[in-house]
A and B are shown apart, each in its own frame.
Chain A
């Protein structure tokens, strides 16, 4: 295809997209109005299953299949990173030298690390009650571990972070999500339908049927995925060296 033909195709596609977007915009309800047809139905469905946080109900109940797709994207991208950033034949592993960290910074990191991990777990556990959920809490818990790298040194982080275990955890959590969905099929309803468990008491930790289970699976998947992702990046940035390159 010549440059001119490519530009024509691009212009056609762009014009079509622009026309569709403008048409959609003209039909949107006004900003900040009181008419929310989808919102009202989502809130009603969420309350009928005693899930206090409607967003969690949308993510893990009404549209749990979409969340499965999103989880697969994260999973696939982590697998891709692991493959791309592996240690190749012409690279060797150097020993990173310990960093001299000022005492207040080191103390701060060691004090805040457990607080941050706990906050991450809290955000996951309260996903169906208050803002938050598996994704947010998982990212927080995983990045919190890396305070060890930031405030102490890389070898301290390596000791508490067996990457192999986290890779297994990532896969286990992803399959736990699918298995919960299949369990609903075995129970006689649709894939990922929220019919297996009693809905419980509104606004308690065990409310919402399978919502807390799926939420926890996502939390574990995201936390493990982020740890594995950062481990590859850290390996490349800190440890792996080219054979001929001298530091």
Chain B
């Protein structure tokens, strides 16, 4: 066990643990935010694991999660827009904190790996992850006008 894996263990245990609790209890507005946060917390965890195991190929998992995690949240934002418009979630603090955590992990890993293909991939994952989660968060709090849909 090295420092990367230790950090990943703590971050995943606390972060994903909190989102599991958040998604299983409480009103809908809290559950959707927790679902969004689950991918935002797990993706940096996957980056840390890839570094800790010494397997750059595992970055593909983080790449797919950064792409598909926010898209999964958009599914809920789109198809629950009526319910969410009646009771919109406000989670600016949490979203920004988790985005900051993702940015720190990406920057630290970039500093460790040095310039090259891996660094480009890390930066792409970071951009997709942070952008995706900010947009998904925006979509949850009124991204879809709950208009005339039945």
Contact = CB atoms under 8 A, between A and B. Distances in A.
Interface of A: 96-97, 99-102, 104-105, 108-109, 112, 115-116, 119, 123, 130-132, 136, 140, 143-144, 147, 149-151, 247
Given A150-B71, A150-B75, A151-B74, A102 B64 contact: no
B142 interface: yes
State the main secondary structure of chain B at its contact with A.
helix
A102 B142 CA distance: 8
Interface string B59-103: 011011001101100110110000000000000000000000000
Nearest to A98: B147
Contacts of A115: 67, 128
A132 B67 CA distance: 15
Interface stretch (B2-10, B19-27, B37-45, B132-140): B132-140
B138 A143 contact: no
B104 interface: no
A151 B143 CA distance: 10
B60 A132 contact: yes
Nearest to B134: A104
A112 B60 contact: no
Interface of B: 57-58, 60-61, 63-64, 67-68, 70-71, 74-75, 77-78, 128, 131-132, 135, 138-139, 142-145, 147-150
A119 B74 contact: no
User: A-B pairs with the 8 shortest C-beta distances?
Assistant: A100-B145, A108-B135, A130-B57, A102-B143, A150-B74, A247-B150, A105-B143, A105-B139
Contacts, number: 75
Contact of A123 (B58, B64, B145, B147): B64
Q: Which of A119, A123, A131, A150 has the most CB of B within 10 A?
A: A150
Contacts of A100: 144-145, 147
Nearest to A97: B148
A147 B139 CA distance: 13
B55 to A, nearest CB: 9
A23 B68 CA distance: 41
A149 B79 CA distance: 11
A119 B54 CA distance: 22
A231 to B, nearest CB: 16
